[in-house]
Amino acid sequence: MYGEHKRELSGGEEKTTNNRMELTAVIEALSLLKEPCAVDLWSDSKYVIDALEKGWARGWKKRGWIKSDKKPALNPDLWERLLALTDLHNVTCHWVKGHAENPFNNRCDKLAVLESKRFL
């Protein structure tokens, strides 16, 4: 959303995880921006928000995609793309409780459920 402008996107993949789809959604949205922007990213994904806001993803990258517990970080291909986009844009992260009273998050959940049904 930008001012009065609103654009909805949805999609899915076969044999994937919710975390990959959460990352893909952010990547696709940021990729649509035509110039560097200030972006407020709202998500119910603690995986995405915490990894960005707390610097976990940058730490994983710095350690060769290894987490602090010495286990491999998941989804490095997507994190690489997302970190490049967050370098381009000024992204401010906001976590919102899922399945609560946020109409935008509820709309996203509805679209995600509809997309997931295409792959049953």
Q: Is residue 93 part of a domain?
A: yes
Residue 80 pLDDT level (bands cut at 50, 70, 90): very high
Is-contact 41 94, C-beta < 8 A? yes
Which of 41, 90, 32, 49 lies closest to 57 in space, CA to CA? 49
Q: Is residue 29 part of a domain?
A: no
The mean pLDDT value for 27-39 works out to 97
* Mean pLDDT across 47-73: 98
Any domain includes 33: no
Q: Are 22 and 45 in contact (CB under 8 A)?
A: yes
Q: Which phi and psi (to 5°) does residue 41 adopt?
A: -100, 115
- Identify which has the larger pLDDT, 115 or 120: 115
* pLDDT interval class at 76 (50, 70, 90): very high
In the chain, how many domains are there?
Answer: 1
Q: Is the pLDDT of residue 38 over 90?
A: yes
- pTM, rounded to two decimals: 0.93
Please give the DSSP secondary-structure letter assigned to residue 14.
Answer: S
Does residue 25 belong to any structural domain of this protein? no
E strand or H helix at 60: helix 56-62
What is the pLDDT of the chain when averaged over all its residues? 95
Domain with 76, as residue range(s), is 41-117
Give the domain CATH number at 101: 3.30.420.10
Flag the least confident range among 4-8, 38-42, 57-61, 74-78: 4-8
106 assigned to some structural domain: yes
Q: Are strands 38-43 and 90-95 parallel, antiparallel or unpaired?
A: parallel
